[in-house]
A and B are shown apart, each in its own frame.
Chain A
Amino acid sequence: MLRKMIDRWMVVGVLLALSAATLSHAKLLAAEPQQDDFVQMIVQLIANPDQDFRAAALEQVRSAAAGAEATKRFAAQLTRLDAPGLVALLSALADRGDVAARPAVLNLLASSRDESVRAAAIAALGKLGQPEDLPLLVKALSAKSTAERAAARASLTQIRGETITQSLAAELKSASPDVKAALIEVLATRRATEELPTFVAATVDDNAQVRGAAMAALGQIGQPGQIAAMLPGVLKAKKGAERDAAEKNVALVCARIANENERAEALIQAVDAIDPAQRDELLSLVGRVGGKKLINFVASIATGEDAARRKLAIDALSKWPDASVADKLLEIAEKAHYPEERTQAFQGYVKIAATRDKRSDRQRLDRMKQAMTVARTPEERSLVINRARTAYDVETLRFVLPYLDQPQFAQVACETIVELAHHREVRDPNKAEFDKALDKVIQIAKNPVLVDRANRYKRGETWERPAKRAS
């Protein structure tokens, strides 16, 4: 308390003395001494223990008292403050953007062991750094501290200089896998299109992290010319999340070809260049890219002689980006000789039919009604009731409502009705009808969250969907 008071008196005293000196002789003094006093005022305030007073000074650091000399005096305070003060001053110096502060920032980075200070110093180098700081920033990409790594990545993305991109690409050659992955991300964010061949080469790296980063980079800035070169990367990706991500990135690059037929042609050519023994593995990718030209090709495999190929092709049709394959999937489901194929095709049909693409809600609902008429098992009917929730229409409520009275479907029908009621634009114009349905949900739903939501929607309140957990 006493120390705070002394500090406060000291600052106020200095302010009073300096400002009086500055202004009483304002017209007599030359510009430089006036600025000197102003800088001194700011310097004193930077050390103020009250963060609002400090912020007032830092506002001046950001924009006032132009010139390298003032910058150096502000930067000199980097040796005198506590950690929060240092972090704030580093941010202000970075915003000031005067490279005269760089040596002090580098010195602080070399001497400080405080994680927040080091991260702030690394972040400041994004605006104040020079090409010769690259090794230091690259090294920080493998720091133990998450904050330092994130700051290094941001600074490497931000740092200016004509040779930066080339230098980063050179660093790639000798970098460890995690640093290599980070550098690829940085280069992609810097939109370093001249490094596309480097990214392509990295798509078949032995390290999954590097492969993933390279594929993501190509997904961000790759061009149709890279489609064929990306396919070995898709094949090298482990099945599961990595393969899915790789396929999505190729699909992103394909999507840069506006014409649907040309897009399909480019993919066919690329697939043709792959060893025939491996081509079937790319069917899933073909499905993600979609297009009318490819439907019959994939459908012919889905109805062919080879069971393993049929499975891959049905999977591919189920990943189609639009509903153009819906009829084909329904046909396959209806004619399937094996129950597992029937199930796979039916599930694919319902998934595609429920996709929120350019079709109207009524069209989506019509597809669901069609699915219900051909559904054979309770599981299939339950799936249709579940996915009907993607058709935001009061007619969907009327379609699902009767299932509340069938015990085996009642709970899934409750879920779908509550999901429909979530959409105010559907609920409000049909409030009486929804209220009646929600009353029934409240009565029979076993899930307390559904009951809570139903009550809220009846009262016209909203409900916040919990964020999905990061996988």
Chain B
Amino acid sequence: MLDEAFEALKKFDWGTDVAAVAPIDDAVAATHGQADARRDLEQRLVAALGGKLSRDAQDYVCRKLAIIGTAAAVPALASRLGAPHHSHMARFALERMPAPEAAQALRDALPKVTGDLKIGVLSSIGARRDKAAIAAVSGLLSDNDPSIATAAAHALGAIGGAKSAQALAAARPSKSSKPAVIDAQLACAESLLAEKNEAEAMKIYQSLAGDHQGRLVRLAATRGMLACASKQG
């Protein structure tokens, strides 16, 4: 059944009956908790990805690797990060895989990709909350492309923590990326508050409470300060 499904995968494309590849879905579920069987399945999926598949079939394989992929699948996925049509689904898998190699692959790809692909990689780094990427991401806060600077700010906000907050505070954002930087600072403060680091959170809120900020930012900062103080009190 599974062999037939992998054969069917070679002809799988938009509009094809998904029932033909359903045994692969079943195998993903059935191999839960069976390391050897999972490894075999992963190897077959990675091998299939290296073969000649339609774009829809490749996307299908990436979805399965997002569930069962390990470090072994990372090179095949990482090689696709620079390809406009395949980068998105490669990130979809790498974002969700617990292997640290997946995070490393995204960090490695960051200086190599450009434009929308770079924005996508930044988004995935943020989704993984990859603290090891803070330095690399921070460097992009001053990127000439405001979309990339904005994406970098969002990524740092998603990663959260004191180091991200420091990088954001040190940034000299352009007018267009400034709102994203402030949002990210508030997100960092919230993550610090959740980690019970009220003192660091308060510093961020204080920096945003001044009259030079917009009303809504000051309001958010004030609410944050009250939340910090109430936890301290």
Write the residues of chain A forming the contact surface with B, with a CB cutoff of 8 angstroms.
Answer: 5, 8-9, 12, 15-16, 19-20, 22-24, 26, 31, 34-35, 37-39, 41-42, 45, 50, 52-53, 56-57, 59-60, 64-65
Which of B19-27, B132-140, B208-216 is found at the contact surface with chain A? B208-216
B11 at the interface (CB under 8 A from A): no
B190 at the interface (CB under 8 A from A): no
Which residues of chain B have C-beta atoms less than 8 A from A64's C-beta? 226, 230, 233
Other-chain contact of B229, A5, A9, A19, A24 (Cβ < 8 Å): A19
B232 at the interface (CB under 8 A from A): yes
Which of B123-131, B151-159, B163-171, B217-225 is found at the contact surface with chain A? B217-225
- Shortest C-beta distance, B57 to chain A (Å), equals 43
Other-chain contact of B206, A19, A34, A38 (Cβ < 8 Å): A19
B95 at the interface (CB under 8 A from A): no
Q: Which residue of B lies closest to A5 (CB)?
A: B211
Given contacts A19-B228, A23-B199, A26-B198, contact A38 B233 (CB under 8 A): yes
Q: Are B233 and A9 in contact (CB under 8 A)?
A: no
Q: Are B215 and A50 in contact (CB under 8 A)?
A: yes
B65 at the interface (CB under 8 A from A): no
Which residues of chain A have C-beta atoms less than 8 A from B209's C-beta? 12, 15-16
Q: Can you pick out 30 interface pairs between chain A and chain B where the beta carbons lie within 8 Å of each other?
A: A5-B211, A9-B211, A12-B209, A15-B206, A19-B205, A19-B229, A20-B206, A22-B232, A22-B233, A23-B198, A23-B199, A23-B229, A23-B232, A24-B199, A26-B232, A31-B233, A34-B229, A38-B229, A38-B230, A39-B233, A41-B225, A41-B229, A50-B219, A53-B218, A56-B219, A56-B222, A60-B230, A64-B230, A65-B230, A65-B233
Q: Are A19 and B225 in contact (CB under 8 A)?
A: yes
Which residues of chain A have C-beta atoms less than 8 A from B228's C-beta? 19, 23
Q: Are B226 and A22 in contact (CB under 8 A)?
A: no
CA distance A8 to B218 in the complex (A): 10
Q: Are A42 and B198 in contact (CB under 8 A)?
A: no
Q: Are A56 and B226 in contact (CB under 8 A)?
A: yes
CA distance A5 to B211 in the complex (A): 9
Q: Which residue of B lies closest to A41 (CB)?
A: B229
Q: Which residue of B lies closest to A11 (CB)?
A: B222
Known: A38-B232, A64-B233. 12 other contacts (CB 8 A): A15-B206, A15-B225, A19-B205, A23-B198, A23-B203, A34-B232, A34-B233, A38-B229, A45-B222, A45-B226, A50-B215, A60-B230
- Shortest C-beta distance, A459 to chain B (Å), equals 37
Which residues of chain B have C-beta atoms less than 8 A from A42's C-beta? 226
B181 at the interface (CB under 8 A from A): no
Q: Are B219 and A53 in contact (CB under 8 A)?
A: yes
Q: Are B233 and A15 in contact (CB under 8 A)?
A: no
Which residues of chain B have C-beta atoms less than 8 A from A56's C-beta? 219, 222-223, 226
CA distance A22 to B201 in the complex (A): 13
Q: Which residue of B lies closest to A32 (CB)?
A: B233
CA distance A16 to B222 in the complex (A): 10
CA distance A24 to B229 in the complex (A): 12
Q: Which residue of B lies closest to A57 (CB)?
A: B226
- Shortest C-beta distance, A61 to chain B (Å), equals 11
Other-chain contact of A26, B199, B210, B218, B223 (Cβ < 8 Å): B199
- Shortest C-beta distance, B115 to chain A (Å), equals 39
Task: List 3 tightest A-B contacts by C-beta distance, closest first.
Answer: A38-B233, A35-B233, A64-B230
Which residues of chain A have C-beta atoms less than 8 A from B218's C-beta? 12, 53
Q: Are B202 and A53 in contact (CB under 8 A)?
A: no
- Shortest C-beta distance, B7 to chain A (Å), equals 49
Which residues of chain B have C-beta atoms less than 8 A from A22's C-beta? 202, 229, 232-233
Other-chain contact of A12, B202, B210, B223, B233 (Cβ < 8 Å): B210
Which residues of chain B have C-beta atoms less than 8 A from A35's C-beta? 233
CA distance A385 to B163 in the complex (A): 79
- Shortest C-beta distance, B187 to chain A (Å), equals 19
Q: Which residue of A lies closest to B210 (CB)?
A: A12
- Shortest C-beta distance, A421 to chain B (Å), equals 43
- Shortest C-beta distance, B221 to chain A (Å), equals 9
Q: Are B211 and A8 in contact (CB under 8 A)?
A: yes
Q: Which residue of B lies closest to A20 (CB)?
A: B206
Given contacts A9-B211, A19-B229, A64-B233, contact A53 B222 (CB under 8 A): yes
Given contacts A23-B232, A38-B232, contact A60 B226 (CB under 8 A): yes
- Shortest C-beta distance, A33 to chain B (Å), equals 10
Q: Are B202 and A23 in contact (CB under 8 A)?
A: yes
CA distance A22 to B199 in the complex (A): 9
Which residues of chain A have C-beta atoms less than 8 A from B205's C-beta? 19
CA distance A34 to B222 in the complex (A): 17
Given contacts A12-B209, A56-B222, contact A19 B230 (CB under 8 A): no
Among B198, B210, B226, max chain A CB count under 10 A is at B226
Which residues of chain B have C-beta atoms less than 8 A from A41's C-beta? 225-226, 229
Q: Which residue of A lies closest to B229 (CB)?
A: A38
CA distance A37 to B225 in the complex (A): 12
Which residues of chain B have C-beta atoms less than 8 A from A16's C-beta? 206, 209-210
- Shortest C-beta distance, B228 to chain A (Å), equals 7
Among B203, B218, B219, B233, max chain A CB count under 10 A is at B233
Q: Are A37 and B229 in contact (CB under 8 A)?
A: yes
CA distance A15 to B208 in the complex (A): 12
CA distance A42 to B226 in the complex (A): 8
